[in-house]
Copies of this chain bind each other. A is one copy, B any other.
Amino acid sequence: MLKRGLYIGRFQPFHKGHLYVVKRALEEVSEVIIGIGSTQANYDIDNPFTCGERMEMIRAALEEAGIEHKRYWLIPIPDIHNNIVWVTHVVSLCPKFSIVYGGNPHTLLLFEDMGYEVRRVQLYKSELYSGTEIRRRIINDEPWEDLVPPAVAEFIRRIDGVRRLKILAEAYEIDKKLKKA
């Protein structure tokens, strides 16, 4: 019988650590729902990409990885500011699922307390395969492309994402300096 797993992230950007969790889940369930969290966040230093851009980069990465379309769902999840209510909000947006995967104990706690089975995925080199680290490297002209699937690197270059992040970082530094002045 069909069994679905849920995996939620912000994917700013989608990296190899994320791809690993998706593959890992697909060993256990027939379909994985990839929930794109904080869909309303974009063009800020922690969330440079729009939801639509993240949809495009994830689909390109999964295609490249040879994962069949019918085995995953991409679902935007706008934030709401009530953690426990957010669980039902997610449930109402997604096709029926029975297991929740994740590396973050906060999300897992929420679904567990609402009666879902959860499975904590031990991330591989999480200090490296991390959106924060990748954004930091992009901003500082350090090598970052190896941390994401090739299709994601290509997409970020195509939409001029490096320039965007650098401008956001410049604006952030100006704000920080003013706050300290």
Q: How many copies does the complex hold?
A: 6
Q: What are the residues of chain B within 8 A of A81 when measuring CB–CB?
A: 40-41
Alpha-carbon distance A81/B136, docked complex (angstroms)? 23
Q: Tell whether, in the assembled complex, residue B41 and residue A82 are in contact, meaning their CB atoms are under 8 Å apart.
A: yes
Chain A 133-175 interface residues, beta-carbon cutoff 8 Å to B: 133, 136, 164, 167-168, 170-172, 174-175
Q: Which residues of B contact A113 (CB under 8 A)?
A: 43, 164
> Which label, helix, strand, loop or mixed, suits the secondary structure of the A interface?
helix
Asked if A78 is an interface residue, CB under 8 A from chain B, the answer is yes
- Kindly state the interface size class of chain A when it binds its partner: 35 or more
| Known contacts A42-B82, A76-B75, A82-B41; A52/B94 CB under 8 A | yes
- Interface pair A85/B85, CB less than 8 Å apart: yes
Q: Are A104 and B174 in contact (CB under 8 A)?
A: yes
A40-B81, A56-B95 are known; give 13 further A-B pairs, CB within 8 A. Answer: A40-B85, A43-B106, A44-B83, A55-B75, A59-B95, A82-B92, A85-B92, A88-B114, A106-B168, A109-B168, A126-B178, A132-B179, A133-B181
